[in-house]
Structure 1
Amino acid sequence: MTDGGQRQYGPLGTTLVIIPTYNEAENIKSIVSRVRSAVPEAHVLVADDNSPDGTGKLADELSADDEQVHVLHRKGKEGLGAAYLASFRWGIDNGYGVLVEMDADGSHQPEELPRLLTALKGADLVLGSRWVPGGRVVNWPKYREAISRGGSTYSRILLDVPIRDVTGGFRAFRVETLEGLGLDEVASQGYCFQVDLARRAVQAGYHVVEVPITFIDRELGDSKMSRDIVAEALWRVTAWGVGSRVNKIRRR
């Protein structure tokens, strides 16, 4: 965690849970229902990338039955980063105080969201972490765990960020934190989008807290992880790390 000092934090405001989707028809009803049960006062935004399996239509049906469920229809699959950036702007424009990132596949447990929101009362950004004491993964293939642990360790060391789970995607932001991260400059997608936001938060001096979570591998649908996503993350993290070190040397 970064040092938050003696800063006094204001009230959180209304929470918007953002759930990006692409072909998540098997999961969307369950995950939205669980979010609404876990945090009844929160709103949900399903950001669907024109899923060919009809996820967007199912989300529209949920929205029609519940005024706290909203749908952002996007033209096509443009990557996780683009979906979140569009959703952040939607949330900011509509006056929400907290924006939450959450996967649609059930790997992030909505029942743990209240713990993140409680921690956010004294922080700028809260990360649901698999790699802090109390955090764990369930039913995950060893190669996926190795990629995640290795990616977080590599990013933490190269970027000099005091975060154990740099790549995790279960996060709660105060809106003012997101507004201070320079979202218009974020170009990263996929796996490294989370790394990018985390490093920006640390560099901006925000108070970042990690809360242990249980991450459960999806039971339905297909993972969106690919070699291209991992390769992009490795390339960008390396470029950021090298660039930061070069700049430090030049300032000496």
Structure 2
Amino acid sequence: MSAPHTPAAAPPLPAEWSRTATTVVMPTYNEAANLATMAEALMALPLEGLRLLVVDDNSPDGTGAIAEQLAEKYNEPGRTRVGVLHRTTKDGLGRAYAAGMARAVAEGASYVLQMDADGSHPAEKIPELLGVALATGADVVVGSRYVPGGSLSDAWGVHRKALSRWANAYASTILGTRVRDITGGFNLWSAAALNAIDLETVDSAGYSFQVEMKYRALKAGYTVMEVPIHFEDRTAGESKMNLAVQLESVVMPWRLRTRSARASGHRPR
């Protein structure tokens, strides 16, 4: 058995950068066992401008109520550190992200970070992602499992790792991109890029949201950079992946390619 992954300490950002208005959008459905731990990790980061927005899809396990308790715990007079967006309909991860990202930009975020609630994304890497965006001017910074230095949990078997790599190669080949982790869900976006993409017009309801968003950013001329991360397996709760989500992920790259070809006046090959 290999040794457990130990996060490397990141150097602190300059004070001005740490005050950058950055909102972590975290969709939840039945994540009562994970949410408080995730919030604690985020609130402990040395980022004065960081805010968490929980987007709960009416979780029957009480996740929404826990989110409200966290807001009461961490919010201060004149400073909102945790916000909650309650949705009454569970209509897919992509829709939840779009709603949360739109709310974050409307409330003044300069950058918006997508992050899962299950502990798979490393909170300690957020300052690095933000630092890369501010230092380089990149509008999208991907926490990548598949650039040098990136890695996957040992809990993932050979088949699951191979399937994940295949999905990335499949989408990137069809769409002609060089993003190595185009399916990844740990992504930092500038408000400018999100406004240009127009979240209300994004079609994907499920995990293919990650692919569509990155592809649309690239087509709009925005720079996408990748930073290596270690991706952990969830320790509590159940994955939300199902057959419908998997089928959408297979079809969406072809749909995006066809739409792009029509817009440019060419037939897809």
Match of 1:115 in 2: 128
Match of 1:3 in 2: none
Match of 2:5 in 1: none
Higher relative contact order (CA 8 A, sep 6+): 1
How far is 1:29 from its partner?
0.2
Partners in 1 of 2:160 and 2:246 — Cα distance?
A: 11
Q: How does 1:1-252 map to 2 (within 5 A)?
A: 13-41=20-48, 42-67=50-75, 68-121=81-134, 122=136, 123-138=138-153, 139-245=155-261, 247=264, 249=266
Q: 5+ unaligned residues in a row in structure 1: which ranges?
A: 1-10
Deviating beyond 3 angstroms after TM superposition, the runs of 4 or more aligned structure 1 residues are: 242-251
How far is 1:141 from its partner?
3.1
Q: Flag the 1:143–1:227 CA change in 2: closer, same or farther, 3 A.
A: farther
What whole-Å deviation, never above 9, does each CA across 1:153-178 have from its counterpart, x for those lacking one? 01111101110000000011110110
What whole-Å deviation, never above 9, does each CA across 1:36-65 have from its counterpart, x for those lacking one? 112442110010000000000001000011
How far is 1:245 from its partner?
4.8
**Letter of the structure 2 residue corresponding to residue 171 of structure 1:** N
Partners in 2 of 1:243 and 1:106 — Cα distance?
A: 35
Partners in 2 of 1:248 and 1:212 — Cα distance?
A: 37
Contact 2:212 2:256 in 1 (8 A): no
Query: CA RMSD of the aligned region, Å?
Result: 1.8
What whole-Å deviation, never above 9, does each CA across 1:83-120 have from its counterpart, x for those lacking one? 11111111111111110000000000101111111111
Partners in 1 of 2:102 and 2:247 — Cα distance?
A: 28
- SS of residue matched to 2:207: helix
Number of corresponding residues: 242
How far is 1:223 from its partner?
0.7
- SS of residue matched to 2:20: coil
**Letter of the structure 2 residue corresponding to residue 50 of structure 1:** N
Partners in 1 of 2:90 and 2:161 — Cα distance?
A: 26
**Letter of the structure 1 residue corresponding to residue 180 of structure 2:** R
- SS of residue matched to 1:180: helix
Q: Flag the 1:222–1:250 CA change in 2: closer, same or farther, 3 A.
A: closer
Q: 5+ unaligned residues in a row in structure 2: which ranges?
A: 1-16, 76-80
- SS of residue matched to 2:96: helix
Partners in 1 of 2:192 and 2:267 — Cα distance?
A: 32
Partners in 2 of 1:187 and 1:224 — Cα distance?
A: 19
- SS of residue matched to 2:197: coil
Partners in 1 of 2:174 and 2:261 — Cα distance?
A: 9
Match of 1:5 in 2: none
**Letter of the structure 2 residue corresponding to residue 62 of structure 1:** L
Task: State TM-score, norm by structure 1.
Answer: 0.91
